[in-house]
Structure 1
Amino acid sequence: MADNYLERKMEEYRSGKGVTYRHRTTPTGARPGTLTVKFPPRRVLVTGGARGIGRTIVKAFCDAGCRVAFCDIDSKAGAATAQATGAQFHPVDVRDAAALERCMDRLLEAWGDIDVIVNNVGVSAFKPLEESSLEEWDDIMSINVRPVYITSRKLAIHRRNMGGEPHYGRIINMASTRQSMSEAGTEAYSASKGAVNSLTHALMMSLAPLGITVNSVSPGWIETGDYDALGEADHSQHPSRRVGRVDDIARACIFIALPDNDFLNGENIVIDGGMTRKMIYV
């Protein structure tokens, strides 16, 4: 009897019958493969949030349960993004410093404070050096660089007026891999992104006493159009074997904004699939 019983149980075990599967848990009681992130709702401002990378950043913070506002010069795209995400849209031409400050004043009055600023707005205009003008240079600087200074300074003044006690704050500036690598005809854009990178670590030092971290993100090729239209050569040249997506940048912004990541400060995070580390000789 006993021998037959053991044989039957062994047969059931081998066939999988009679085996009850129990989920294993980690030492903290969580199921394997589950990552829990503490991200209390934050008050977020994104510049240039109507389209492309900016729109995806707006959506990511909205999906994280944050109160999000964004500004952009494109009223039609801004209205569509606001409707799709639930974020507030403020029509602003960031070249107008007073208009940008008024936008922040409205938010500070309504919210009491701004926890996260993503300085995403930017334009590019590539043309031969001898065909470019000083006015075009100044225009790119007024859009790509000056708003970073304006929003950061405005937040610093507000925090000082609150008493200057350090508490959670994040400023995330959008730079570019072109701040360290170039093609002909990109002088103004490359210089503007280099300025953003330098401004980032300077602001970090000034804002550290207020508890505000300042970091920049340098995207490489991030396709904001028809990703499916890209060819094999586009993807295969990247060590990561693909062209970047807008979500790659949005996830980095969420990561930087996490409350526990206050030790990440004054850094420039390159997200380019490895291209700037790839040695190429022709």
Structure 2
Amino acid sequence: MEVVSGTASLAVPPGSAAVVVKNLYLSCDPYMRGRMTEHETPSYVPDFVPGEVLVNHGVSKVVASGHPDFKVGDLVWGITGWEEYTLNPKPESLFKINHPEMPLSYYIGVLGMPGLTAYAGFFNVAKPKKGDYVFVSAASGAVGQIVGQLAKLTGCYVVGSAGSDEKVNLLKTKFGVDYAFNYKKEQDLNAALKRYFPEGIDIYFENVGGAMLDAVLLNMRVHGRIAVCGMISQYNLEQPEGVHNLFCLVSKRVRMEGFLVGDHYGEYRKVPQGGEDQIR
């Protein structure tokens, strides 16, 4: 990776429906790690091309527009370049910011892609009910911390795992989960989960994979639900770890479903409207 300087035109091509935006905030998200690997079989999102500008979610301000739905001065969030200015030829993919009174940085967090990921994965995939026992791995991350709070607002019992005592303390004192533990200090993940879930887990929001997933499968309740958001423990491995307890899906009639946030962008407006009071 290198930082380069260049000259950018701040005008859209004549007759174009493109926009030029000034980027105000840029997000660095775990899924980008996968785009840095060359895949023989195409992944769900294209690999980054060496020498080209990195792209990811950001918050931007329109400085030039040929599109009837966007005017100069509009604040937007969506995919943009890791650069000061970006020419976007398909601005239909951008979302207008309708709550400019909120801190703009929220739109690469709770009001942006991480918030929508948490909302869609928890409500559309996991389908919670009041009183459910919920476990969230990587619970202090951008998505996990929101899932835990949504679960508490739904009336669930919530436990989160994280990789440091500082993050565990954050989960308990700021994000309001019932219990949290440092998985790096646990010699036996199965025993740890039984300690916090003596009656089993109804919903597992999966962010890490590997040994944690294996332990969770042993502790799922009958008709439990696993929403698979990511498996970050596997991203840097040359040979991904296997999972040994998959028969629990059969014996406990567990539904395990992966999802991509891009499939749920149509529901974006529900996130700020439904949680605006809690966010404030």
Q: What TM-score bracket applies, with the shorter chain setting the length? A: 0.3 to 0.5
Higher relative CO (Cα under 8 Å, sequence separation at least 6) belongs to: 1
Report the TM-score when normalising by structure 1: 0.40
Please state which structure has a larger fraction of its residues in strand: 2
Q: Point out the structure with max Rg over C-alpha.
A: 1
